[in-house]
Copies of this chain bind each other. A is one copy, B any other.
Amino acid sequence: MPPVETSRSQFRQVADQLRAAIEAGEYPPGSELPSELELASDYQVSRQTINQAVRLLRSEGLVLVRRGKGTTVREIPVIHRAALTRYQRQERERGGGRGAFDTEIKGMGLAPRSETTVDTVEAPADVAAALGLEPGAQVVRRQRRMYANDVPVQLAPSYIPADIATGTQLAEVDSGPGGIISRFADLGLPQTRITEAVRVRRPTDEEQQFLRLAEDDQPVVEIFHVGWSGDRAVEVAVHAVPAYGWVLDYAWETS
């Protein structure tokens, strides 16, 4: 069953057929695809052509390719992130989840897990600018690594000016019930306004490694999140997620 149309390149036709087969359930989530040599034989094309087709599927996040092992179908379904309700205390604590991420992942029937590390570093340039700090100013960094069913799905460091966080629970790994948002309120710095800038970009090396993006041809969505207490920016969080693996939901009342 070799590709026949001449208007569309062979590797795109092969990718189309593999994509359709995956979506039809012929290759269920987690299952192995045939090796490139087998596929080349099946489709009567060269291995390069198969390699290009699989590369396309890989860039779409549809398959996970590991050299020496083979190619498997993505296991995690698309994750929804509700941008506004996640900052309501009631929602964050709903269902016994310890935060918005926990609640969302559980709601999909997946098992959430996250690891947090805390340290003090120099603020990256864009973070310093957003926080109104001098370049290189010290900030407390809370590095969060998030998993669904043990698959890494989000890397989200957040940054708080050192003069706010040092000596408080904001600089502790365990941020307590309701998460750090509730801690800010306890400190007399309730976050009253949120701004988020959403963009698509190439991953950093760290993101590439953590999110298992085999190469840098898989884009990520960055959510550059700033929490304001009055006129003061008190927290920046830089969420990075695989671009094809998430849907961001926003909702608001119009004035």
Are A249 and B200 in contact (CB-based, < 8 A)?
no
Identical copies of this chain, number: 2
Are A87 and B12 in contact (CB-based, < 8 A)?
no
Q: Report if A197-B254 is in contact (Cβ < 8 Å); known contacts: A60-B202, A217-B59.
A: no
Are A12 and B216 in contact (CB-based, < 8 A)?
yes
Q: How far is the CA of A73 from the CA of B198 in the complex (A)?
A: 24
Q: Report if A254-B191 is in contact (Cβ < 8 Å); known contacts: A56-B217, A59-B217, A217-B56.
A: yes
Selected from B217, B219, B254, the residue in CB contact (under 8 A) with A243 is B219
Q: How far is the CA of A59 from the CA of B59 in the complex (A)?
A: 10
Number of interface residues of A (CB under 8 A): 38
Name A251's closest neighbour in chain B (CB-CB). Answer: B195
Name A215's closest neighbour in chain B (CB-CB). Answer: B12
Residues of chain B within 8 A of A195, CB atoms compared? 249-251
**Segment 200-214 of A: residues with Cβ below 8 Å from B:** 200-202
Q: Does A255 contact B (CB under 8 A)?
A: yes
15 A-B residue pairings within 8 Å (CB atoms): A12-B215, A59-B217, A60-B202, A87-B254, A191-B254, A193-B253, A194-B254, A195-B249, A196-B250, A197-B247, A197-B249, A198-B198, A200-B243, A219-B244, A243-B243
